[in-house]
Structures are given as structure tokens and as C-alpha cells.
Amino acid sequence: MRIAIIGMGRMGRAFAGRALDKGHAVSVWNRTPGRADELREQGATIMDSPDDVSDECEAVFLFLADDKSTLELAVPDGQPRKQWSPTRVVNTGTVAPEVITALSQAYGDSFVNAQIVGAPQAVRSGEARFILGGPAAGRAALAPVWRVFAGAFDAGDRPETAAVIKLLNNQMLLTQLAAVAETVRAGRAAGIDDATLTTMLRESPMLAPGLRNRIDVMFDPEHAGWFTSIQSAKDLTLALGLVPDGVALPVTEAARDAYRRFIGDGWLTQDPAALVEYGRRAH
């Protein structure tokens, strides 16, 4: 397929690299120049503007960070981009369901919501899965893209359903990660060394695969990762916004507040597994 990718963060670059490996024709654009230089060497076309999609483009994939950037890029001044109207428009970012509704209203049956379950490494290797929501014809038309990954969960015709399911997945991951970080802190306070704690977590039947992926990052002093505390607080805030006033989610609220406190202590770019350092200021 001929596809365009808007947004060259870690996920966007990983997706573009995988698509190029599998023979798709890829054009890319990023607000900050230079992020896609290695993709140019791999065969990607660098667009000067998000409006530079070719007439032959079959889908525009959005890899944008949050609600604001998604709306600004995809529906500037509240209007769809005319250059995108002949093609499919596919959102992959974790945003509020209301943002998905706005995109669906702007692009109609051409819009598909494709939420990613997996880290950039899983996207690059083809092991990531997608949660798909939108018109059946749109989901089916993009099958050549889904086939180069680990498959898709079909959330049905409503694009918003895929957004909710992704937020629920992130809610589970981030609240549990906050609890595991406290387990490590409790173990350290009780005199257990990190090697023993690492072994315990690796062998514990209580730990889900998504949490096992964070063990090394948790004990790495740099806590280098691809997801941040800022994104964690954002996603938990969106998850809390799914329920009406009066429906209490105290565990999710506590986890959200912990990430916010952590951000205030200067932990901005580290992986959320760095929550093991809660109560300490970042260097």
C-alpha cells in the first residue's frame, strides 16, 4: 500500500520502519525536521507539509502525542484537510473518545481508529497488535497493513469503542505498575537486595507480561524507556474521564496522583517504572 505517516515519535518511526521492511510505499512528516532521516535512507519520502500526501496515497496514519496535537493537525480550525479527503485517515494515538468523535465526524466513513497495544520495539518487530474501530469497509481496506503485525482486535463499527478499550488497557497497566513499584520500595525498605527482588518479580505468577517488560527498566538507575510519567498521568486522567461523576475509581485516582507528584519532583522523561524512586527528586 501507499501510506503517509504523520508524527515521527518512537511509535511513528517504528511503524514506518516495519511498513518499509514489508514493501509498503511510505511518506512521512514531522513537525520537527530531522527525525525521519534514517527512514529516508530506508526508502521513505519526506513530506514538507502534512498536506503533501500524493493522489495515490491510500491511508494517512496519525502518530500524534495527545488530544491537542491530534486536533490541530487533523482538523485545523475544526475542518478536515482537503488533501486527505480522498484517502483513509487512521488515528493511532491514545486520545479522549471525544477527539475520536471529532475525527469521525470530520472524515466520515473514511476514518478508522487503530489503537496500538505494544511498545515501539514490538511495533518494529511486528509483534504489536491493534484495536480497530470504524466502518467495516475501512477496517478491511487496511488489511495489508494489519497483516505485517500480530493481528488485530475488532472493536466494531464505532471508532470510540477502540479508544475506550485502549484506555482500559493502559489503566490496568499503569495502576498495576504503580503497585509493583511500591512492592519494590517495600522490599528495599525491608532489606531485600535488588538482585533478589529482580528474581522474585521474574518468577512471580502475579506479574502480567506487560509488567514483566518493565522489570529491567525499574532497576536501571537511568529508568530509560519509551513511555513517560507525563503520558502516564495523561492516560489515567483520560481513563477517569470515562466514568460519570459519582462513580468512584479510587485506585486509578491514587495512581494518577502518584504520577503527578512524581512529575512535580522532576521525573519528566523517564519510563513510568521509575516510580520506584517516588519521594526522591530527580537529579
What is the per-residue pLDDT across 31-48, written as a single tens digit (0 to 9) for each? 988 888 899 999 999 999
Q: Are 147 and 159 spatial neighbours (Cβ–Cβ below 8 Å)? A: no
Q: Global pTM?
A: 0.93
How many CA atoms, within 13 angstroms, populate the side-chain half-sphere of residue 103?
Answer: 35
How confident is the model at residue 186, as a pLDDT?
A: 98
DSSP, collapsed to helix, strand or coil, labels residue 59 as strand
What kind and span of H or E run contains 201?
helix 194-203
User: Whose CA is closest to 63, among 124, 116, 139?
Assistant: 116
Cβ-contact 118, 128 below 8 angstroms: yes
* Residue 283 confidence class, pLDDT cut points 50, 70, 90: confident
Which residues, at least 6 apart from 78, have a Cβ–Cβ distance to it below 8 Å? Answer: none
- Inform me whether the pLDDT recorded for 225 exceeds 90: no
Average the pLDDT over 6-24 and give the result: 97
Mean pLDDT of 143-147: 95
Report the pLDDT value the prediction gives residue 44, as an integer from 0 to 100: 97
pLDDT at 177: 97
Per cent of the chain over pLDDT 90 is 94
Residue with cell 466513513: 109
| 19 — pLDDT class (breaks 50, 70, 90) | very high
State residue 270's pLDDT score.
94
pLDDT at 151 over 90: no
- In the block, residue with C-alpha cell 514483566: 212
Is residue 21's pLDDT more than 90? yes
Nearest to residue 13, comparing CAs of 36, 33, 29? Answer: 36
CB 141 within 8 A of CB 166: no
What is the band of 116 on the pLDDT scale with cuts at 50, 70, 90? very high
What is the C-alpha separation between 279 and 262, in angstroms, rounded?
7
Instruction: Please determine, for residue 211, whether its predicted confidence score (pLDDT) is greater than 90.
Output: yes
- For the cut 90, the answer to whether the pLDDT of residue 2 exceeds it is yes
- Residue 109's CB: how many other CB atoms inside 10 A? 12
- Residue range 144-159: mean pLDDT, rounded: 95
**Res. 142 pLDDT band, cuts 50 70 90:** very high
Q: Looking at residues 76-101, what average pLDDT do you find?
A: 96
Report whether pLDDT(172) > 90: yes
Whole-number average pLDDT of the chain: 96
What mean pLDDT comes out for the span 236-252?
96
